[in-house]
Structures are given as C-alpha cells and as structure tokens.
Chains A and B, each alone.
Chain A
Amino acid sequence: MARKKLTQMAYKDGAEMMFGTAKFPVTTKRGIVLGGGFVHPEVVPHPRPGSEKTMKTLLREYEKANGDALERMVIVGHPTLQIENEHIFQMTHNPKWGAEIAAQTARQMDDCLTKYGLKAAYRSTPADLRKPDMVDMRNSDYTREVLESFNECAKYADIVSIESMGGKEIFDHAIIRNDIAGILFGIGVLGAIDMEWMWDQIVAIAKKNNCIAGGDTNCSEANTAMFMAGGMTSKDVPHVMAALARAIAASRTLVAYECGATGPTKDCAYEDPIIKAMAGVPISCEGKTSACAHSDLAGNLIAAVCDVWSNEAVEYHDMFGATTTSVFAEILGYDCAMFNSAIELGYQQQMKEILVNSDMYRDSHSLILAPDNAWEVGNAIVQNRAKSNYASARAGAIKAGQIILGDKKMKLTKLENEALTKAMKELEALPDDEGTFIDDCLKKYKNVKGFNPASYGL
C-alpha cells in the first residue's frame, strides 16, 4: 500500500496513554492480543560465537535458546511469550537459514500451545545488510538478500521487523561532530526516504504471507547516539544531542506505520512512546531488562506505556539459575505479571507514575520519552507531517529541545547546556523548505565517504 501520511494524533494527550493498551491492538497467530489490555514479555536470544558456522549448528543453537525460554514460561506459570530472533549476518545472507529457524521455532510454539496452552508468538527480524556507504541501497546483492529473507521468514513468523540503515553514512559523520543538520538529514530525511522504499515492500510481503508487519527502529543511528552518550561519566557525545536524535528518529520510524505496519513496534526503538502517541500501535520496549545488552538511563520510565516488554538481546549460555534465555524470559514474565496486576487492581495510573518518576530527570533523553513529553514531541511531528519528512523531523527536534531547556527540574551540565543551545540555534536557522535543505546538504556532505544520493532517489 502506498504511504499515507499521519495528520492526526492517535491519543488526545500523554495522560491517555497507558501500558498494556494500544488504540489499535494486534492479534498473533496463536491468539496473543498485543495492546489488548495487558503487557506481554518478549525475549530475544542471541547465538553464541561459533554457532554460526553451519545452518545445522545454528538451528541447534536456536532450538535450545528459544526452547528453553518457552519451557521456562510453563515452569513458572507465565501465560504468554513473544520470542524475537534478530538475524545474525549469516541468517539473512543465506535466507534459507533464517527461514529454517523461523519454521523450527513455529513448530516449537505449536507444540507448547498443544501441550500446555502456552500462547507464544515469533518475531523474525532480518538483518539490514545494506551499509549505505558500501552498497547501492536499492540495488545490491545485500538488498536482494534482505528482501528474500523477508519473503522466506514471513511464511512462518507471526511478525517481521527490521532495523533499517538509511542515512547512516551521514549520521555517523554528523554525530561525532555535534552536527545537528547532518543528524537531521541522515535520520529525518534519508532515513525516512529509505524506509518508505523498504516498508512498502515489507508490508506487501507480510500481507501475502498472512504475517504481521511489525515495525522498524532507528537502532543504527539514534541508539548509536544514545550508547555513545552513555552514562553519567561518558564524554563521547552530549546526551542532549542523543535526545534530539531520538526526536528526529520518531519522525523517521513513523514511516513504517504510515506504510501499513501495525506494530508491535521494534523493542530497541526508544522512540516508541512517541510512536504510540502518534500512531496508536502496540509498542514493544526495553529498559532495565536490556542491561544484558547495553545500559540506558530510562530503565523504568521506558515501560510506562509499553505493550510488550523486552530485553534487547541476550547471548545464550549457562547461568547459575538456568540458561540465559530461560532466566530473562522469567524476569520479563514477572515484570509483566507486575504490570498486569497493577492493571487488574486498578493501580495502573500509580504504576505509571512510579515508572516515570524513577527516571524522568535522570537524563534529558529520558525526559523527552516521559509520556506527556513524548506526546508533545509527537504532536509537533504530526502537525508538520503534511509539509515534509524534513519539516516534521525538525519540528520534533525543536520541541524536544524546548522541553529540555524549559523544564527547571532538568539539570544540565554546562557543556550539555552549551551543546543544546547551539543545536537549537542551528535548527532554528535552517530553511523551512525541504527542497532547499536537501540541496544544501547535498553540497555540504558531498565528500562524506560513500555517500551516494542515488541510493535515495536523489
């Protein structure tokens, strides 16, 4: 289906948003209603190094990793589980591998439903092998492998998703130079163009196979910014720049849902609270439970409006308690039991307040993801959506900056304050028209290694 730009917010304000319930729930093959009133766990196993040698060894690795998680749900009495397999390189490079793993996991889930009544769902996420500075994004062997992988995996998976890479060559150049225009061009313009090209095809493939077109994430850019910003002692990237990148990413990631993706969104998209406010789709989020893969400063807050609760990725190996996938599935399941108890007891508002207060002022990035602020950023994006990808992304970034600078409880270091003040001045000084901005950027970034405007139809 052709992209239909969003011009109206799904929620009337941030207060209306709540964990467990989305405006537009999605039902998986074995009957889990995502966003239908309760939160569901999503565990993401990652294979051990060496298991990628052959399809046989990798199949065995995933059979154990995914199987252990399913088994643990039954052992501790959790009613549902979503499993995501983010493809390692070999699974997408050899599309049959990803398909065989999807088919195997679907059989395991069918068995669990038959034997125990455990409702499980499988998300397959092909790796976006297209590195923008190395291939033609629309016409390369890697491009064809990614699309073939979707075709193969959608036959067996409940949900397909991707972490698309558009604009990363410009973003990487810009983020290490505090260059907000470059971040805006890379994520907000090039990323959005590439997503529209990619997601039109993914949605068609998913429909053909009766599979749910889940969503995308700006992992390769906004998460890179967030991880580089790091914790409170890191001096790699100012946290405020990562926060602005996140707001811009929300404008980019929205394209998937405008193209017909329905959610559940991709778990590592920390822009998801903004996506939920705009599109009303069920969102998968990760926070404290993803400390096994990376750290963040929104560990509890990010759960405040989630519908699926995830752990990003955990490498499969033994722990004292059991294997890692069992352990993390259990932890996620208990978190969901807590969320769902709050819902059943009528304490969801109090629970939401607890989650938000935990982290809202821990970091500027967390501040803009608090539901009320996420809604404001989303509203700025949607109000400018009809104009262009650029105008909406820029408006989202400006709103995020205004929220951070305008909240007296949000303390910033001198360096952070200077970086944000400078970025805001630069954002305000940019042209209003997308065409002019793109022309300016094509000149400014023409010498960035590997930047090929034709990859984006420019």
Chain B
Amino acid sequence: MKILSDFSNIFKRYDIDLEKVGQAKQISKDPILQSIAKFVVEGDEDGISPAVDEALKTKTPLDIINDALIAGMNEVSRLWEEGVYFLPQVILSSDAMNIGIAKCEKAMGKSMERKGKVVTHTAEGDIHDIGQVIVNALLNANGFEVINLGADVPVDKVVAACKEHRPVMVTGTALMTTTMTAFPKIAHQLKAVGLDIPFICGGGAVCEEYVTSFDLGVYGKEASQAPGMAEDALTGEKWSAMRGKWNG
C-alpha cells in the first residue's frame, strides 16, 4: 500500500505540539510527611500503607491527613489541571490517599471531617455510570463525602436521599436522551420539598440546553468540573448563580 512520508497537509498533531511537561513540587519540609505525600503523588498503594503506619508513631493522624495526604492530593490536582497528569494517575493517587486516610481515621477512632455531602446517581433505566464513578472519585479526593446511589436509580430514591442527607448539591449522569428525562422530575420534586440545591446533570447525550430548561439544573460538561462546582455549592452559591458561572 502506498503510504505518504509527510502528513503535515492532512492532519496536525496538536497533542504532540502542545504537550505539557512538569513535575511535582516538594510538599512538606518534614521528610516523613514528604515521603507520604510522594506516595500519594505517585499513586503508590503498596508503599503508602507502611509509610503511614510508621508516621503514626511520631505524628498525629490529623497532621498526616492535612499535611501529607490531602496536601499530596492537592498537588496531583494541580498537575492534572495543568495537563501534566492523565485521569488514571489522579484516580491512583486518590486510591493511595484513601488508604492513608482510612489508617489515620482508625487511629483517631473517628472519621475525618468532610467539607460537605454530595449525592450522586445515574438516571433510572441507564446503566452507563463510569462518568459518575469518576465524579465520585474526584469529589472524594477533594474532601467531600459522596452519597453514591449507583446506577439505574428511580426518581423517588434520589429525592429521598437528598431529604435524608441534606447535601450541598446532587448530581445526575445519563448516557441516553431517553433516560435524562428523569432529571426534571427530580428537580421538580426537590423544589416541592424545599430543597433548593444545585442539581448538576451531565454525561453522554445530556446537553446544556436541556439541563438549563428546568429549575435547579446546572449542566456539567466534564466530570473534572465536579469538585469546583461542589466548592461553589459549599460556599452557599445558589443554583442560578452557578448556572451563570458554569454554563453559557
């Protein structure tokens, strides 16, 4: 088969031209905390466990959480936002951080304080939930407590979970246009019971025009926006203001 030697007039490899390079910054001057943070940054699940065990002999669990585990995860978030890391590196770092946090929580005898709750679900009749899985991981990595309702979740169950947990926001994922029709029903019921919280909807065929056609709806284009939106909701920003900020 005849194959060209030069493709420059056929396509342009923006990914090659624009590749970002960078590396993690030092996170702590304390060598023990720095080594734990490094395990988080490198997503090393095997290494972090003994390192946290060792650190707990000389450090408080809260110091390890705040100055090594969360600080390490913040550095990972920076690398991802700057285009240096891929998503899997963020997930692996999150896994490592969670192992460390679980150990510290056990040492404290209680759960660490989370920023706030977020209820997440995938629409009834829809089983495509990988987007929700990523949202869950990113919210968790950013200090939120995720109430994960899973996939194929009926409208009533979402509303009941919001009534029970009083989250700062709720998210809905759908791949199909014929399942996203559950979203306005959820929004309507939430309003009816006085839960005026931002309802972030995204995934597959979901579009901004549809989501912004009903009250509470804020369109989430990318899973990576979820932590930023949750931060806004945490500060008390209303859904209408968030829509103005995140949507066109």
Contact = CB atoms under 8 A, between A and B. Distances in A.
A233 interface: yes
B241 interface: no
Contacts of B134: 176
14 contacts: A46-B177, A49-B181, A134-B151, A134-B152, A172-B130, A178-B88, A178-B89, A220-B128, A228-B130, A235-B80, A235-B86, A358-B11, A411-B13, A413-B16
A48 to B, nearest CB: 7
B125 A89 contact: yes
B193 interface: no
Nearest to A414: B19
A129 B91 CA distance: 27
A14 B16 CA distance: 29
Given A46-B177, A362-B11, A357 B4 contact: yes
Kindly name the residue among B18, B87, B95, B150 whose own CB sees the greatest number of chain A CB atoms within 10 A: B87
Given A15-B1, A177-B92, A360-B3, A88 B86 contact: no
A50 B180 CA distance: 10
A371 B1 CA distance: 10
A356 interface: yes
A413 B16 CA distance: 5
Interface in B143-189: 150-152, 176-181
A141 interface: no
A361 B87 contact: no
Most buried by B among A90, A175, A228: A228
Contact of B180 (A14, A49, A237, A371): A49
Given A15-B1, A413-B16, A52 B181 contact: yes
Interface string A205-227: 00000000000000010001000
A236 interface: yes
A90 B125 contact: yes
Given A90-B125, A372-B1, A413-B15, A224 B178 contact: no
Contacts of A414: 19, 21
A228 B86 CA distance: 11
A172 B178 contact: no
A386 interface: no
Given A89-B125, A89-B179, A131-B151, A232 B87 contact: no
Task: State the majority secondary structure of interface residues on B.
Answer: loop
B127 A177 contact: no
Contacts of A232: 13-15
B10 A413 contact: no
A236 B86 contact: yes
B83 A235 contact: yes
Contact of B10 (A51, A315, A358, A416): A358
A69 to B, nearest CB: 19
Interface in A90-131: 90, 93, 129, 131
A353 B91 contact: no
A401 interface: no
B110 interface: no
Contacts of B180: 49
A352 interface: yes
Interface string B7-44: 10011011110110100000000000000000000000
A166 to B, nearest CB: 13
Given A134-B151, A232-B15, A235-B80, A90 B87 contact: no
B65 to A, nearest CB: 23
